[in-house]
Structure 1
Amino acid sequence: MMVLTEYDYEGRSYFAVGAARSGAALRLYPLFEEQLAVLVRESGGDAAALTAGREPVDVPAGESAGLRPRVPCFPGHPGDALVGGFMMTHNVKVDETTPDQPTWFFKGLGDTLRLPGEPLDVPGGALAVCEEAEVVLVYVGDEETGRPRYLGYTFGNDLTDIGRFKAHNGHLSYAKLCSAGISPALHLGPPPALVTGETTIERDGTPVWKGTFTTGTDALYYDLDTITAGLFVHEALHRPGRVHYVYIGADRSSFHGGHTMLDGDRVTLDFRSHGVTLTHPLVWTAGPGR
């Protein structure tokens, strides 16, 4: 399984092939004028085609100053990225009211995405916030038809005001208007069948809640190809070059475990099965009730 990570380094854009390893040197390949999303699509994910004609730059271990990862396949402008997802997709959440096609929600444009270490914003009037450890599918609009084409997947935290949704299930669209965490690594290939990991929530440096999660296509009640096809049939989502980040739903969260999150809490999602960790502090913004 090939993994690509895009970086800004010394004023230029690059990408690395393979998972980054702590304490190891990093080989970067320059991006010229093209977007990584387009390069992945045109190369078919072939490593030789991806790197052909690109003189690599090696960043020695311990010399990472000026090296900053980017959101995977992020377009030239945040307005050309659309962040959304499906809710109530997992087997553990199915009941007699479960519809044939899950509810889709809009979370924001590209600037709602946050890389590890960056704070996740919570609306000031939020009622009860929860983390959601999820697989995130990445698509780019076809240059001719605009129809989204699958590139690969990554991992994320779909932070949600679940209290608002529980108080009024018609307010899902409001409940989702929190920032979203995302890993910088794009995994090429089909979405994973099984993803397991652990959530840790810290307050003032002390763990206050821990729990495990399971996700991936085997955990879904729905066939993933069917529900994504049912979403992307809509021409309103067709635009050449637009990048889509689709969060496919989550297992139970700290909210279901009885935990209440507060301003300043630090949330870590350890996707142990895939060697990916996302850590974000939570920051309540000004708003109603603040």
Structure 2
Amino acid sequence: MPTHLVQITDGSSRRIALVEEPHLRCLTGVSSVYELAQNCIDASESMSDKAHSLATGETLSYDDIYSGRSPWRLLPPIDVPGEPSRLLVAGTGLTHLGSARQRQAMHLADKKSEQEEEAALTDSMRMFRWGVEGGRPAEGAVGIAPEWFYKGDGSVLRAPFEPLEIPSHAEDGGEEAELAGVYLIAEDGTPFRIGIAQGNEFSDHKFEKRNYLNLAGSKLRACSLGPELVVGASFGDISGEVRIERDRETLWCKSIASGEHNMCHSLANLEHHHFKFAGHRQPGSVHVHFYGADALSFGEGIVLKEGDLAEVRFEGFGRALKNPIREEVKSSQAVRVRSLA
């Protein structure tokens, strides 16, 4: 069975805990997933086995923590304590069989004929087709590279129930319900996948819609992960649901699907094309890699605003990830750079 872990803090101390619904059992001897994973790599131990062997500490109510009734609160399920710059957040798009339809519609008006549509294919649809044709190579072979984007370092990660900010310079903020892999690089440069977590990747779809080349800038913002890191999760056919609430009522809801069964790229191919870069194999660094989304509320005309609540839930990945939306005050004031000349 997969092992579910959470990170919690009471403001002055932090712990890692094993999820045993409806309770959490705190681990002794380690205070972060990062520390636990490093110890397991160094000792060539199973992370699941080690977590269970250390789960001899205090038992806490998961319900109380999740609902905010406890002095303990949830943290993102991975971080590098005190060194957020050692964590890289990135992702791949156009990986899911349902993702290209919305991207194509975003960048291309309806055409009258199949021939016209073929002639006017967007770069997004071309890249998606390449993935369908070459994204699942034979074991040990290298397939076609997916779309790749950078989101930021560990400072962009938000905990469950923390707000996702629409920046003052942004045109929009939209949820992207995804699963994300969490990786730690060993001293010899080997990437280890330590688990998978639910995520809300969050992007500026209005800015991207203006021109595909705006994709890079549309991704540079906060995102969320959790509540649970699932160690040893299957990545075959995973069903889920994404929901937007406004004024405590459901504004939009949709079933979603992830896992290799629903993707045009294999997990091994996504991982190869991320970690083939030597800069992504620096010892001791952590990588959070979003695997792509299946459905977006923006694609159905929803515009998120202050106070909305985004909820992401995948079967087998623990309790739902919930984040309110916060809009920063719009500003057109330029950032001024000072000279040291």
Give TM class, smaller chain: 0.7 to 0.9
Q: Does 1:127 align with 2:171?
A: yes
Matching of residues 24-35 of structure 1 within 5 Å:
24=23, 26-32=24-30, 35=35
| Partner in structure 1 of residue 183 of structure 2 | 139
Q: Given the alignment, which residue of 140, 153, 169 partners 1:109?
A: 153
Number of residues paired by the alignment? 285
| Partner in structure 2 of residue 230 of structure 1 | 273
How far off is 1:51 after superposition? 5.0
**Could you tell me which amino acid in structure 1 is paired with residue 225 of structure 2?**
I
Contact 1:127 1:164 in 2 (8 A): yes
Per the alignment, do residues 272 and 288 of structure 1 end up closer, same or farther by CA in structure 2, a change over 3 Å counting? Answer: same
Q: Given the alignment, which residue of 240, 244, 261 partners 1:201?
A: 244
| Partner in structure 2 of residue 89 of structure 1 | 95
Percent of pairs with identical residues: 26
How far off is 1:256 after superposition? 1.4
Per the alignment, do residues 172 and 62 of structure 1 end up closer, same or farther by CA in structure 2, a change over 3 Å counting? Answer: closer
| Partner in structure 2 of residue 59 of structure 1 | 60
Contact 1:195 1:274 in 2 (8 A): no
1:36-91 CA-to-partner distances (Å, cap 9, x unmatched) read 331343422242x3354775223368875332333223212211111110011111
| Partner in structure 1 of residue 39 of structure 2 | 39
For 1:236 and 1:254, the matched residues in 2 are separated by 34
Q: Does 1:153 align with 2:196?
A: yes
Contact 1:15 1:31 in 2 (8 A): no
| Partner in structure 2 of residue 73 of structure 1 | 78
Contact 1:82 1:244 in 2 (8 A): yes
For 1:269 and 1:227, the matched residues in 2 are separated by 22
Alignment gaps of 5+ in structure 1? none
Per the alignment, do residues 12 and 263 of structure 1 end up closer, same or farther by CA in structure 2, a change over 3 Å counting? Answer: closer
| Partner in structure 1 of residue 114 of structure 2 | none
For 2:193 and 2:72, the matched residues in 1 are separated by 28
Contact 1:191 1:217 in 2 (8 A): no
How far off is 1:10 after superposition? 7.8
How far off is 1:102 after superposition? 1.3
For 1:54 and 1:282, the matched residues in 2 are separated by 35
Contact 1:36 1:73 in 2 (8 A): no
Bigger strand fraction = 1
Alignment gaps of 5+ in structure 2? 101-124, 131-143, 334-341
Identify the range of structure 1 (280-289 vs 130-139) with the bigger mean alpha-carbon deviation.
Answer: 280-289
SS at match of 2:77: coil
Q: Does 1:168 align with 2:207?
A: no
How far off is 1:144 after superposition? 3.0
Per the alignment, do residues 7 and 256 of structure 1 end up closer, same or farther by CA in structure 2, a change over 3 Å counting? Answer: same
Q: Does 1:254 align with 2:297?
A: yes
When the two structures are superposed, what TM-score results if normalisation uses the length of structure 1?
0.87
